[in-house]
Amino acid sequence: MFIVGSGLSTLEAAANPFIATCGPPRYSELRLTLAQSFQAIGTVVAPVLASQVIFKKVDDTSLQSVQWVYLGIAIFVFLLAVVFFFAPIPEVTDADMADQAEQSASDTDFEDKPLSKQYTLFFGVVAQFCYVGAQVAYAGYFINYVTWVRPGTTHATGANLLAVAQGCFAIGRFIASGLLKFVKPRLVLMAFITGVVLFAVLVMVLKGNAGIAAISLVLFFESCVFPLIFTLSLRGLGRHSKRGASFIVAAVSGGALFPPVLGAVADALGGNTQVAFFIPLIGFVIAFTFPVYLNLFKRKSLDAWTDKVKVGIEPKKDVETGSEGEKHVETAYVEKL
């Protein structure tokens, strides 16, 4: 499990910043949110396949079918790694990111500051740490919650309700991806995390089906928060983009802190998971302050990235002739000779 976890963390540290930075800067938030929308589908499909197909005829004395499944997954992942090794995927370097930021400087007021003075990045790391911790706590104690607020609910029913809530999560990411085409990312983040906090409060006071609906809506509004905090924290980092991305990925370690704290509090309250959910609510509220900060103090520069920056969209002008496109550059070169 340690080896699998190490591999997943390495993949997370490489894939997210690559998707966020490799392409036109103005679509950074949309790219990562859309990519993670398909990952969210996996969180819905995988548990259903596991319970209805893989583990359906498995008992404590017969695990051979499960072993073959994991072997198949290992072979598939190995083949995928081979494909990526030989695929002509461009490398994003610190110099590339610095050049991209400098090209956009006239529109975004970019300044090449030391990493220690990238305060938005560190605020984003704290917000991501608290948000991911709260999100993992909600997912981990979802079944405990529904069995508490609706007595008589079996764990099997709770698992099915969790699948429905994860479906809401996946739908939310696709909706957010569509919104990002027309609405500024800072506003989408503000709207969705406001929904998270609002329904997280209702989770603590509602009972029965109303409480289950509220916690499902928390997962719906959680959908785009991670990719938007990730990409908005990277805005304007320039040569520090790759290192900054690694800090934000490391912030998912909050998922290792909040669940055990919530569990300890719930045990101290006699198993009352509903009241114990004030622990992830604290994390959501802290994360909520990040989009507030962005909308109050970083609005101008963030909007410039999505409204004005043409890097990666318009052909780069030739410094000699002022013309655009490769054809014009080649023509100018031939004439010069």
Instruction: Give per-residue pLDDT as tens, 179-209.
Output: 999 999 999 999 999 999 999 999 999 999 9
> What is the spatial distance between Cα 231 and Cα 121, in angstroms, rounded to a whole number?
10
Tokens of 171: 């739908």
- List b or e across 324-337, with b for residues whose CB sees 16 or more CB atoms inside 10 angstroms: eeeeebeeeeeeee
Positive or negative, the CA dihedral 97, 103, 109, 111 is positive
CA angle 29, 225, 155 (to 5 degrees): 135
> What is the spatial distance between Cα 42 and Cα 211, in angstroms, rounded to a whole number?
25
- The residues facing 62 across adjacent strands are 59
> What is the spatial distance between Cα 182 and Cα 262, in angstroms, rounded to a whole number?
38
Q: What is the pLDDT of residue 29?
A: 92
Q: What is the pLDDT of residue 313?
A: 76
Q: What is the pLDDT of residue 121?
A: 96
How much is the average pLDDT of 248-253? 92
Correct CATH for 2-54+118-297 of 3.40.50.300, 1.20.1080.10, 3.60.15.10, 1.20.1250.20:
1.20.1250.20
CA angle 42, 175, 228 (to 5 degrees): 80
How much is the average pLDDT of 299-304? 90
Q: What is the pLDDT of residue 327?
A: 43
Q: What is the pLDDT of residue 330?
A: 42
Single-letter amino acid code for the residue at 97: M
Please write down the HEC assignment for all residues of 103-166.
HCHHHHCCCCCCHHHCHHHHHHHHHHHHHHHHHHHHHHCHHHHHHHHCCCCCHHHHHHHHHHHH
Does the pLDDT at position 213 exceed 80? yes
How much is the average pLDDT of 282-304? 95
> What is the spatial distance between Cα 141 and Cα 156, in angstroms, rounded to a whole number?
14
CB 37 within 8 A of CB 177: yes
Q: What is the pLDDT of residue 70?
A: 79
> What is the spatial distance between Cα 103 and Cα 248, in angstroms, rounded to a whole number?
25
Provide the percentage of residues in the chain whose pLDDT is more than 70.
Answer: 88
CB 170 within 8 A of CB 36: no
For the chain, which residues make up each domain, given as ranges?
2-54+118-297
> What is the spatial distance between Cα 75 and Cα 71, in angstroms, rounded to a whole number?
6
Mean pLDDT of the chain: 86
Give tens-digit pLDDT for 307-333.
Answer: 888 877 766 554 445 555 444 444 433
48-57, 248-257, 274-283: least confident range: 48-57
φ, ψ at 324 (rounded to 5°): -120, 155
Tokens of 119: 């305060």
Largest CA distance in the chain: 85
Q: What is the pLDDT of residue 74?
A: 86
> What is the spatial distance between Cα 140 and Cα 273, in angstroms, rounded to a whole number?
11
CA 301 to chain centre: 22
CB 293 within 8 A of CB 126: no
Give tens-digit pLDDT for 29-62.
Answer: 999 999 888 888 877 777 677 666 666 666 655 6
Give tens-digit pLDDT for 134-164.
Answer: 999 999 999 999 999 999 998 888 888 998 9
Q: What is the pLDDT of residue 128?
A: 97
Give tens-digit pLDDT for 223-232.
Answer: 999 999 999 9
Give tens-digit pLDDT for 60-94.
Answer: 556 666 777 778 888 988 998 899 889 888 877 88
Residue 120: C-alpha distances to residues 214, 233, 252 (Å): 31, 6, 17
Rounded to a whole number of angstroms, the CA Rg of the chain reads: 23
